[in-house]
Amino acid sequence: MEIVPGIHEIDTIAARSYLVVGDHLTLIDTGMSGSSSKIRDYVKNIVKRDISDIKTIIITHHHFDHIGSLDKLKKLTKAKVAVHKDDADYISGEKSQEGPVFMKFMVKLFKIISRYKPVEPDIFLKDGDQMGEYQVIHTPGHTKGSICLYNPQNKTMFAGDNLKYVKGKIEGPGASLLPEPEKYKESMEKLVKLDIEVIFCGHTKPVTSHASEKLREYLKTL
């Protein structure tokens, strides 16, 4: 569905993908393996565009539930794949999953089940880069190369798995999913300086109003 003008949420498998609609389409995250057909059908039937209109795919972080359909979508769209340089080697397969043991196990299991094929990124992002109307904000903590994407014009932000919205409150990914908690806190301190109205989360419904205020309240809990 269209959450705010020009930004659509696609409830892909496991995680959520977002489509930014303009002269060209930008896809943010791809969901798990099996999500490509749902994204293709949404673009065709709801947005009334061709899948090849997706020119850029931005990955918020390298976890399998966000990159599972990346290989198929890159082939379908011929889009450029953009990811922070610190997560790029995980997507290309040059590095294996770091972090808690259960995450390593889940990634190995996922790769076996889905037959995930590594993808070589085209664009290596860093803090402060501009992708269209969105500023790249490097937010390590959940992964080394986690990013947010912030648009100061419409005050929207894509947060990936950095944030979730539950029962009217912003929460983090949980201690077991924060291998670098101190860096994560520093990342959140960067975000509270922004003027944000809407936050699009990786796994929950978005924060659609007063996002900055709710983010400040969350920071007090860290």
| Model confidence at 48: pLDDT above 70 | yes
CB 132 within 8 A of CB 26: yes
Per-residue pLDDT reduced to its tens digit, 65-74: 899 999 999 9
Task: Kindly state the helix (H) or strand (E) to which residue 47 belongs, with its residue range.
Answer: none
- 47 to each of 25, 29, 101, 121, how far by Cα in Å? 10, 18, 40, 26
Edge-to-edge order in the sheet of strand 147-151:
130-131, 134-138, 147-151, 156-160, 198-201
CA 104 and chain centroid, separation: 20
pLDDT at 31: 92
> Checking phi first, is residue 201 left (phi over 0); if not, alpha (psi -120 to 50) or beta?
beta
Whichever domain contains 75, its CATH number is 3.60.15.10
pLDDT at 108: 66
| Model confidence at 184: pLDDT above 70 | yes
Adjacent-strand bridge partners of 198: 156
Give the C-alpha separation, 204 to 16, whole Å: 8
Radius of gyration of the chain (CA): 16
Binned at pLDDT 50, 70 and 90, residue 13 comes out as: confident
Share the mean pLDDT of the chain. Answer: 92
Domain count within the chain: 1
Residues contacting residue 67 through CB under 8 Å, at least 6 positions apart: 29, 30, 59, 91, 116, 119
How many percent of the chain have pLDDT more than 90? Answer: 80
Binned at pLDDT 50, 70 and 90, residue 172 comes out as: very high
Binned at pLDDT 50, 70 and 90, residue 107 comes out as: low
> Checking phi first, is residue 93 left (phi over 0); if not, alpha (psi -120 to 50) or beta?
left
Phi, psi of 25, deg, nearest 5:
-100, 140
pLDDT at 91: 92
CA 159 and chain centroid, separation: 6
Per-residue pLDDT reduced to its tens digit, 124-141: 999 999 999 999 999 999
Q: What is the pTM of this model?
A: 0.92
Domain limits for position 103? 2-219
| Model confidence at 81: pLDDT above 90 | yes
